[in-house]
Chains A and B, each alone.
Chain A
Amino acid sequence: MAAGAASGGSATTDTYKEVRTWLLLPAWVTLAILVLAPVFMMLIYSFLTKEFRGGVIWEFSLAAYDQFFFDRGLFGDDPAKIEWTYILIFWRSIWQAGAATILSLAIGFPTAYFIATRPEKSRALWVFLITIPYWVNLLIRTVSMKFLLRDQGPLNDFLINIGLIDSPIHIVNTNFAVQLGLFYSYLPFMVLPIYAAVERYNFSLSEAAADLYASKATTLRRILLPTVKPGVIAGCILVFVPSMGSFLAPDLLGGAKNFMIGSLIEEQFKGNAGNWPFGAAASMVLMTMVLILLMFYARQQARSEKAGG
């Protein structure tokens, strides 16, 4: 993406050189107000003292982070041990989001490849078809999914009617249902970046590889995948990150039996706990993890560009 902009846009860059900073100002201001300010507020809140039933007292405290990392028993006066509860909750969320990402990739990649290899005229239509279900609100889509999957729902009815199974398969209120829900919620975020990457791919490279006696699998592995890798990674991040913070699918399809990161944080603000600093601290830990992931990605990108360039 960066390479394309640099080679194609040099004339434009010169034209706006003088005013470039000013033209970007609205974007920067918007970012600062809508992204940086709330994050900064969260950061501050996570170091404040909790007020009973929600709210904060403006006194510095590490209590929120202490609660996150140390277990002091039911009454809070046992000697401190390592707190596994929240690590477990984070691990579960990462695992669920990871499974959803792999599922999305498995379906999304072939789909994107299929669309990108259609005649140019019909591609727009295919992309359009992919996005249609996403015009409907996420909540409604998730509830509909539950309707389809439940023990007495159409899917189980159908399978029983054709004689494939005798008794309904329990899907709702399982981890698999959550993964399925996450996968369905974020699939287009996987398809679209990969499609964009595959569409730019020069298929004569595949032909050249075939001329040199590369098998189809080898061509895919050594030529196509490395070329479209940025699109694949972007897709994975776009599915993984929101899946990790999601609470609709875990609540509705997973039965809300176990906290995910998203529902744990929600409980601190909307539930009985009313512990805002702890909710903020958990958000900060989550964000740090996502940042590390993105930095890792950026470094990989830089490295591969260096190697390729």
Chain B
Amino acid sequence: MKNLMKTSVAAFALTIGANAAAAEGELVLYHWFEYIPQDLLDKFTEETGVEVTMDTYDGNEAMLATLKAGAIGTYDLAVPSDYMVSIMAGEGMLDTIADGELKNKGNIEPEWADPSFDPGRKHSIPYQWGSTAFSVDTAVYSGDINTTDLIFNPPAELSGRINVVDSQGDVLALASLHMGIPQCSTDRDQLKALNEMVQGAKAHWASFNSDTAKEVLVAGDVTVGMIYDGFAAKARSERESLQYAFPTQGYIAWMDSVVLLKDAPNRDNALKFMDFLLEPENIAAVSNFARYNNGVSGSSEFLDQDLVTQPESNPHDAAGTPVFVEVCDEETQAVYDQIWTNLKK
């Protein structure tokens, strides 16, 4: 009962605090799940008096669908991955940030200041970046882990012990790297071969889990699992024998960016929040929480030391080239959809 009282009082206090903050207006985020520490949002509210509301999504496509279904004008900021930034820009869903509107824009690291998915950073600022490959339980499998064969042409002992993410883009991009064919290939023979290769590989896969990609590895359901680097670092902290692979055939790079949405109801506060995230100390807090790199210079001194040195952030010398997932044209995308349906039918 005492606890209940305490909770109610706390809740009451929070409500009052929120009401006071509402005077400065609000900010509505549409954000990946489990990706930003609540403390940081509280800090922003403390500094600016702006009340932050956040809805979360579990996939780029899910976010796009929600915005397309009429949520444009509800949210101020979203956090799409690289390829999705160009798709959203192409759909006219992004607002342009004029020169001088962001006072911290200069903090963006030069290598992320002019990316292919948003030339000149007209609509976005860098958030977090990393890679997608796979982790292997080295206590169970002792062979060479740095090859995509482990996913697409596994040795018998790994058959039925593999999880892939439930994401067409990531799986087919890694499959293309494995086969050495370009992404979004328009060559019919290559596409047919891709179709057959993934269907053959599926016989060895245990599951298609994205949200639980870490958990299935930690719990020992699978020995090999496709996973994002930060997620892999968390997995390793829970099961030491898990090692993140950088395949020699190449691996997937990704960068999430914060974009200013068209018709943002609180545009000024959105820009304030973008500036807030370009402060090295603040973006480092996100990195420390999510275990990914960020694209802001000067943030390294605020990073946890083990984040800088962790193996998931430091590819070995033999690692292949990281590539972004490419955006296919409509015709090729239709074939990709067909391949994916064939794979999961």
Question: A residues within 8 Å of B by Cβ?
Answer: 52-55, 74-76, 85, 88-89, 147, 150-153, 172-173, 251-252, 255-259, 269-275
Taking a contact as CB atoms under 8 Å apart, the answer to whether B344 and A257 are in contact is yes
CA distance A4 to B150 in the complex (A): 65
**Would you list the 6 A-B pairs with minimal beta carbon distance, nearest first?**
A255-B207, A272-B168, A270-B62, A256-B208, A85-B345, A273-B337
Q: Which residues of B contact A55 (CB under 8 A)?
A: 68
Taking a contact as CB atoms under 8 Å apart, the answer to whether A270 and B91 are in contact is no
Taking a contact as CB atoms under 8 Å apart, the answer to whether B334 and A257 are in contact is no
Taking a contact as CB atoms under 8 Å apart, the answer to whether B344 and A258 are in contact is yes
Q: Which residues of B contact A273 (CB under 8 A)?
A: 168, 337, 340-341
Question: B residues within 8 Å of A by Cβ?
Answer: 59, 61-62, 64-65, 68, 87, 91, 163, 166-169, 188, 191-192, 195, 202, 205-209, 212, 219-221, 330, 333-342, 344-345
**Beyond A53-B91, A76-B334, A152-B220, is A88–B65 a contact (Cβ under 8 Å)?**
no
CA distance A270 to B64 in the complex (A): 8
Q: Which residues of A contact B64 (CB under 8 A)?
A: 53-54, 274
Taking a contact as CB atoms under 8 Å apart, the answer to whether A89 and B335 are in contact is no
CB-defined A-B contacts under 8 Å, sample of 10: A74-B192, A76-B338, A85-B342, A147-B219, A251-B166, A252-B209, A255-B163, A257-B202, A257-B206, A259-B345
CA distance A18 to B340 in the complex (A): 59
Taking a contact as CB atoms under 8 Å apart, the answer to whether B208 and A255 are in contact is yes
Q: Which residues of B contact A275 (CB under 8 A)?
A: 337
Chain A residue with minimal CB distance to B328? Answer: A272
Taking a contact as CB atoms under 8 Å apart, the answer to whether B65 and A269 are in contact is yes
Taking a contact as CB atoms under 8 Å apart, the answer to whether A172 and B221 are in contact is yes
Q: Which residues of A contact B205 (CB under 8 A)?
A: 257
Q: Which residues of A contact B191 (CB under 8 A)?
A: 74-75
Chain A residue with minimal CB distance to B88? Answer: A53
Q: Which residues of B contact A74 (CB under 8 A)?
A: 191-192, 195, 335, 338-339, 342
Q: Which residues of A contact B338 (CB under 8 A)?
A: 74, 76
Taking a contact as CB atoms under 8 Å apart, the answer to whether B344 and A274 are in contact is no
Taking a contact as CB atoms under 8 Å apart, the answer to whether A88 and B345 are in contact is yes
Taking a contact as CB atoms under 8 Å apart, the answer to whether B207 and A173 are in contact is yes
Taking a contact as CB atoms under 8 Å apart, the answer to whether B166 and A52 are in contact is no
**Beyond A55-B68, A172-B221, is A272–B212 a contact (Cβ under 8 Å)?**
no
Taking a contact as CB atoms under 8 Å apart, the answer to whether B209 and A89 are in contact is no
CA distance A73 to B179 in the complex (A): 22
Chain B residue with minimal CB distance to A270? Answer: B62
Shortest Cβ gap from B196 to chain A (Å)? 10
Pick the residue among A151, A153, A258 that contacts B345 (CB under 8 A).
A258
Taking a contact as CB atoms under 8 Å apart, the answer to whether B212 and A252 are in contact is yes
Chain B residue with minimal CB distance to A253? Answer: B207
Taking a contact as CB atoms under 8 Å apart, the answer to whether B87 and A53 are in contact is yes
Taking a contact as CB atoms under 8 Å apart, the answer to whether A255 and B337 are in contact is no
CA distance A22 to B74 in the complex (A): 37
Q: Which residues of B contact A75 (CB under 8 A)?
A: 188, 191, 335
CA distance A153 to B220 in the complex (A): 10
Q: Which residues of A contact B220 (CB under 8 A)?
A: 151-152
Pick the residue among B65, B207, B333, B336 that contacts A52 (CB under 8 A).
B333
Shortest Cβ gap from A252 to chain B (Å)? 7
Taking a contact as CB atoms under 8 Å apart, the answer to whether A54 and B65 are in contact is yes
Q: Which residues of B contact A269 (CB under 8 A)?
A: 65
Q: Besides the contacts A85-B342, A257-B202, what 10 more A-B pairs have beta carbons closer than 8 Å?
A: A52-B330, A54-B68, A74-B191, A88-B345, A172-B221, A173-B206, A252-B212, A257-B205, A257-B206, A272-B337
Taking a contact as CB atoms under 8 Å apart, the answer to whether A271 and B207 are in contact is no
CA distance A184 to B62 in the complex (A): 28
Q: Which residues of A contact B206 (CB under 8 A)?
A: 173, 255, 257
Taking a contact as CB atoms under 8 Å apart, the answer to whether A272 and B195 are in contact is no
Taking a contact as CB atoms under 8 Å apart, the answer to whether A256 and B166 are in contact is yes
Q: Which residues of B contact A151 (CB under 8 A)?
A: 220-221
CA distance A55 to B65 in the complex (A): 8
Taking a contact as CB atoms under 8 Å apart, the answer to whether A270 and B59 are in contact is yes
Chain A residue with minimal CB distance to B58? Answer: A270
Q: Which residues of B contact A153 (CB under 8 A)?
A: 219
Taking a contact as CB atoms under 8 Å apart, the answer to whether A270 and B61 are in contact is yes
Shortest Cβ gap from B200 to chain A (Å)? 14
Q: Which residues of B contact A52 (CB under 8 A)?
A: 330, 333
CA distance A67 to B341 in the complex (A): 12
Q: Which residues of B contact A257 (CB under 8 A)?
A: 202, 205-208, 344
Taking a contact as CB atoms under 8 Å apart, the answer to whether A256 and B337 are in contact is no
Q: Which residues of A contact B62 (CB under 8 A)?
A: 270
Taking a contact as CB atoms under 8 Å apart, the answer to whether A256 and B68 are in contact is no
CA distance A172 to B212 in the complex (A): 13
Pick the residue among B61, B208, B342 that contacts A274 (CB under 8 A).
B61
Taking a contact as CB atoms under 8 Å apart, the answer to whether A259 and B330 are in contact is no
Shortest Cβ gap from B81 to chain A (Å)? 13
Taking a contact as CB atoms under 8 Å apart, the answer to whether B221 and A150 are in contact is yes
Q: Which residues of A contact B168 (CB under 8 A)?
A: 271-273
Q: Which residues of A contact B337 (CB under 8 A)?
A: 272-273, 275
CA distance A173 to B195 in the complex (A): 23
Chain B residue with minimal CB distance to A252? Answer: B212
CA distance A138 to B59 in the complex (A): 21
Taking a contact as CB atoms under 8 Å apart, the answer to whether A150 and B335 are in contact is no
Taking a contact as CB atoms under 8 Å apart, the answer to whether A152 and B219 are in contact is yes
Shortest Cβ gap from B225 to chain A (Å)? 12
CA distance A251 to B211 in the complex (A): 10
Shortest Cβ gap from B259 to chain A (Å)? 16
Taking a contact as CB atoms under 8 Å apart, the answer to whether A256 and B207 are in contact is yes
